[in-house]
Amino acid sequence: MERFERTKRLIGSDKLAELKDSKVLIVGVGGVGSYAAEAIARAGIGKIAIMDGDVIELSNINRQLIALEEDIG
């Protein structure tokens, strides 16, 4: 089964191709942004750019889905 087969059934081949050709910029990947980034990637968007000027700290690592403890600082 193709990775996006179920999405294709839901929205059709043409719309799936539009998603693949789309570009998305996500500004801020804290509490909401990191989950949004994952959902957008899983939806089949072709290119994703992520910007976040925050410094990963022990106090905010729980809100950053993609951060690991070795990323602190």
pLDDT one-digit tens code per residue, 17-73: 999 999 999 999 888 998 999 999 999 999 999 999 889 999 988 888 878 899 998
For the domain made up of 5-71, give the CATH fold: FAD/NAD(P)-binding domain (3.50.50)
Q: What's the angle, vertex CA 22, arms to CA 17 and CA 28, rounded to 5? A: 140
Q: What is the pLDDT of residue 19?
A: 95
Q: Residue 10 — very low, low, confident or very high, per pLDDT cuts 50/70/90?
A: very high
On the question of pLDDT at 1 being above 70, the answer is no
Q: What is the pLDDT of residue 54?
A: 87
β-strand partners of 47: 23
Q: Compute the distance between CA of residue 3 and CA of residue 43 in angstroms, rounded to an integer.
A: 10
